[in-house]
Amino acid sequence: MKRLALVLASLCLFAVPASAQVFGQLHPAHPLRDGSNLWGAYLLLGDRVDDVGLLGQVRFNAGSSFDWGLQFGFADGPGDGGILLGGDIRPSIKRADAEFPIDLAFDGALGLTIGDGYTALELQPALLYSHRFPLDSGGALSPYGSVGLDFQNVDYDNADSDTETDVIARFGLEWEATRSFSVIGEFGVGDPGAFITGINVLF
């Protein structure tokens, strides 16, 4: 446990400030359980959506160490709001074991936000990490996070386009209430920052 606490603390220190999928990590770094697929629904709060947004996700298992996902949603602002579209691939780098009790994965994500008077295209490569703690009840708790870069190009209808690069971090927790149903909450720091809560369901 001391080794695990030290590794988690080190990852948190090096992660500030830094995302996986463009709109949020939404799942720990370990592969989807039992070879299943996943769908999720999430509430977004914070700078990214101005006030509030809704996001849906479907993830597909493509092997024991690879999955990919599609994201879609709506953000309330600025202006009349925006449509959120995204996709990502997630190969596993390392599974947790006795020597190194952290799951690691790479995530390559692409996102498109179509808003009132602007269009934003984002590319986000990131390193994901997590650890799963089984519970006596049969579920589990999985603290997770990610460290990455956000390459963003914003094209305005009535102004010059703007290109930015930001470092962002996400820290979250997934509670597996049952074998196929879990609840997540995560906090993002950087630009943009956000808080996300929602559910993941395996199918």
Give the pLDDT of residue 75: 87
In tens, the pLDDT along 92-146 reads 999 999 999 999 999 999 999 998 888 999 999 999 999 999 999 889 999 999 9
pLDDT at 2 over 70: no
Model confidence at 12, in pLDDT bands (50, 70, 90)?
A: very low
What mean pLDDT do residues 66-94 have?
A: 90
**Other Cβ atoms closer than 10 A to 141:** 14
- Asked whether residue 18 carries a pLDDT value surpassing 60, the answer given is no
Per the DSSP assignment, residues forming a β-bridge with 168 are 148
Q: What is the architecture of the domain spanning 2-202?
A: Beta Barrel (2.40)
Question: Can you name the residues that pair with 87 across neighbouring β-strands?
Answer: 70, 110
Model confidence at 48, in pLDDT bands (50, 70, 90)? low
Residues 6+ apart with CB under 8 A from 94: 100, 102, 103, 104
196/77 Cα distance (integer angstroms): 17
The pLDDT of residue 117: 86
Report the pLDDT value the prediction gives residue 46, as an integer from 0 to 100: 81
SS3 sequence of the chain: CHHHHHHHHHHHHHHCCCCCCCCCCCCCCCCCHHHCCEEEEEEEEEHHHCCEEEEEEEEEECCCCEEEEEEEEEECCCCCCEEEEEEEEEEEEECCCCCCCCEEEEEEEEEEEEECCEEEEEEEEEEEEECCEECCCCCEEEEEEEEEEEEEEEEECCCCCEEEEEEEEEEEEEEECCCCEEEEEEEEECCCCEEEEEEEEEC
Give the pLDDT confidence score for residue 50 in this predicted structure. 66
Confidence check: pLDDT of 15 > 50: no
Please report the sign of the dihedral spanned by the C-alpha atoms of residue 190, residue 128, residue 173, residue 110.
Answer: positive
pLDDT above 60 for 45:
yes
Cβ count near 195 (within 10 Å): 15
Q: What is the pLDDT of residues 152-199, one digit of tens each?
A: 999 998 888 899 999 989 999 999 999 999 999 999 887 666 899 999
The pLDDT score that the predictor gives to residue 4 is: 43
